[in-house]
Amino acid sequence: MKIIKPKKLKKGDTIGILAVSGKIKDIEKINNAKKIFISSGYNVTVSETCFSSHRYMAGSCDKDCVDELHNFFLNKNINAILCARGGYGTLRLINKIDWNIIRNNPKIFAGYSDITILLAMMYKKSNLITFHAPMANGDFGSAINEYTKKSLINTLEGNTEFIEARYPDVYNSGAANGVLWGGNLSSLVSLCGSDFVPDENIILFLEDLNEPSYKIDKMLTQLFNTEKIRQNVRGIALGEFTNIKDDYDLKNIFSEMAHELKIPVSGGFKITHEKTKDTVPYGVKVLFDSNQGRITILDKYLTD
């Protein structure tokens, strides 16, 4: 499979803010994000789906979201696409997207949470490296965390060499190579039953929020009951699982998982719904060392 690498972000480029998931409840947050990027030296265009909604989703209908997604990739004046927010909606789109449009018009595409579904499917169906990254509404809609902003810009300019946990929680020691792939656990699990898993070895990264421990346990079990994931996973980097709704110790669940899978597993990565987060190239070849809590990027993930 030939991996497609988008072009680096440069000052003067145009960032397209795209809403294809939850509806935008406060357009001022999008305007604030726009101001931040303009003041940083970029041009910005905002999708029409930021200004309309149906039920709890962006756009007046699913077709609006798919059309805007297609249009943003086809638009030669847009150099990078930053999703507006997560929520719910992208699962409704995946069987309506023309993946050839994305394959033939590669560019930076970034987001997290519900956008995990599009990151996974773009890699699987279009071979495109994308980015698990902060978004316009929740992260740039008010006072942006400077660490988060620096990580995003640095990564989209092609300068990130590694991602590391400052204080790693080591569940199983070791090192492994693979393609960096994963994201929001509940979003990934919603794809089970679809053709979404890479055909090569993977280093799986995971995060989530607002879930009870038993449900995290259930979703991990469901994910690893997917035969191709169980066959291809070579290591697991755990981000933050925040606002857990019970008192059970997640570390016991992660330890059991690591013991059963017998692969390197460690946690503590700033891959999260929280304000301070790392931007992660999605689909790039990496070396994962669970003892060091480090993911070393082995290949260029952007072109000039």
Which residue is catalytic, options 151, 187, 273, 290? 273
Q: Cβ of 290: how many Cβ atoms within 10 Å?
A: 27
Q: Return the H-helix or E-strand segment holding 120.
A: helix 116-126
Question: Parallel, antiparallel, or unpaired for β 280-282 and 265-267?
Answer: unpaired
**DSSP single-letter state for residue 283:** S
CA 188/CA 197 separation, integer angstroms = 10
Which residue is catalytic, options 21, 47, 53, 113? 113
CA 169/CA 292 separation, integer angstroms = 10
Q: Cβ of 94: how many Cβ atoms within 10 Å?
A: 19
CA 126/CA 282 separation, integer angstroms = 13
Active site residue 113: yes
Amino acid, single-letter form, for residue 291: N
> How many whole angstroms from its chain centre is CA 199?
19
Which residue is catalytic, options 207, 211, 240, 266? 207
| Gap between the terminal Cα atoms of the chain | 21
Active site residue 273: yes
Burial environment of residue 156 by CB neighbours within 10 A (0 to 12, 13 to 18, 19 or more): buried
- State the angle between helix axes of 250-261 and 213-224 in degrees (0 to 180), rounded to the nearest 10: 20
**DSSP single-letter state for residue 250:** H
Active site residue 227: no
Main-chain dihedrals φ then ψ at residue 102, nearest 5 degrees: -70, -45
Say whether 88 sits in a helix, a strand or coil.
Answer: coil
Main-chain dihedrals φ then ψ at residue 214, nearest 5 degrees: -65, -35
Which residues are annotated as catalytic? 113, 207, 273
